[in-house]
Amino acid sequence: MRISLFAATLAALPVLAAADGHGQSTAVSYGARPAYLVDKLPEGALKDKLASCMAQTPAQTDFSIGHRGAALMFPEHTDQSFIAGARQGAGILECDVTFTKDHELVCRHAQNDLHTTTNILVSDLANTCNTAFTPASGDTKASAECRTSELTLEQFRTLTPKMDSADATATTAEAYQGGVAGFRTTLYTDDAKLMTHAESIQLIKSLGAKFTPELKSPSVEMPHDGFSQADYAQKMIDEYKAADIPASDVWPQSFNLEDVLYWVNNEPEFGKQAVFLVEWSEGFDEQDKATWNEDFADLKAQGVQYLAPSLNMLLTDDNGALAASAYALAAKEAGLKLIAWTLERSGPLATGGGWYFQSVGDVVKNDSDYLVALDVIAQDVGVEGVFSDWPATVTYYANCMGL
């Protein structure tokens, strides 16, 4: 039954013309949000330019990368999230890859996130969780931990996805299913389907988009029942080969440099576009900037071409204005191709933007600063693409700017 539902979903997609032989282009629509953000911009050249594009025809662009699909409002890594991301013009879509007990690859942000992204705690599989649900009590928050590595693929398929959330005040597993952030929604969770990595490849291909899978760090010790880290990295690439996806359409990612170097050395065609992910860490803004060029040169010498820093590493406060950071400019000068993550994951920016904007929290004032930040990293840094939880915003900007 599940296979027929999946096939029916693909058959029902609205399409336009064929897209370079790797699928059909999904009809693209911006929706209301990009215009809303443009309207909120202060008067000036950026607002004038973006406002002049209101009547343009939306088009898919590789500059726009769907972060787990369109996770702002759709349950991440589901068929509906990927479809929504493509409909918003994302030319590249992300499946975060982890594995099950029987070493099948599935799309999950982490191997141990099932307690917040599915209904496992209120299902017959609750007893498989690594840490059972513990109710909130006094100052102790409710908690649980459930891993894909404790389930076979057959068991995984029985779960129902939901928005990534948990109610830390819950005293029951049922109440723990809540906690959805106020800027998100549960309107689009009905009938969304969990996906294997191989299924995501087929769906994304049918949508006319390309691929940026992230090999997630395992929560279990490796090797896992004989399945090594190299086996894991290779299997992810093998599933693209089995689907006849050209390496030029795939940007494999990892926070683990050893994974990236494995692809560079063992799968050189895929390794050309392997992406090394890095994120803000404590003391980043106090690091000796003289070491950055050495780090960048070392990456280049090992064959790494793409670096993907978190948004907070690319932005700085220049006398009260958003500007490109010294780190971003040094990485670009070193010849690395940069990809930024993640726009529109922070909720309303009136309160400073949280983790993703911590380097410029005193500068951002409202949601129009999403567009200001995007303009800085696109024009002043020159990134190759931008991950977003709502790809329509990046698509609109890229179409308007001719990226």
342-400 confidence digits (pLDDT tens): 999 999 999 889 999 999 999 999 999 999 999 999 999 999 999 999 999 999 999 99
* Mean per-residue pLDDT over the chain, rounded: 93
Q: Coil, helix or strand for 282?
A: coil
Average pLDDT over residues 313-317: 96
Residue (of 347, 394, 377) closest to 90 by Cα position: 394
Six token digits for residue 151: 């389930």
Return d(Cα 201, Cα 178) in angstroms, integer.
Answer: 30
Specify the fold of 2-95+195-401. TIM Barrel (3.20.20)
Residue (of 240, 296, 233) closest to 259 by Cα position: 233
The DSSP element (H or E) to which 296 belongs, if any, is helix 290-301
77-123 confidence digits (pLDDT tens): 999 999 999 999 999 999 999 999 999 999 999 999 999 999 999 99
At 6 the pLDDT is 40
20-71 confidence digits (pLDDT tens): 445 556 899 999 999 999 999 999 999 999 999 999 999 999 999 999 999 9
The packing angle between helices 229-242 and 257-266, to 10°, is 50
Contacting residues for 117 by C-beta, under 8 A, at least 6 apart? 75, 76, 77, 108, 109, 161, 162, 164
CA 322 → CA 375, 380, 382, distances in Å?
Answer: 10, 11, 15
Return d(Cα 314, Cα 323) in angstroms, integer.
Answer: 8
At 290 the pLDDT is 79
Average pLDDT over residues 173-199: 97
Residue (of 262, 268, 273) closest to 231 by Cα position: 262
The domain spans of the chain are 2-95+195-401, 111-176
Residue (of 239, 234, 243) closest to 206 by Cα position: 243
At 286 the pLDDT is 66
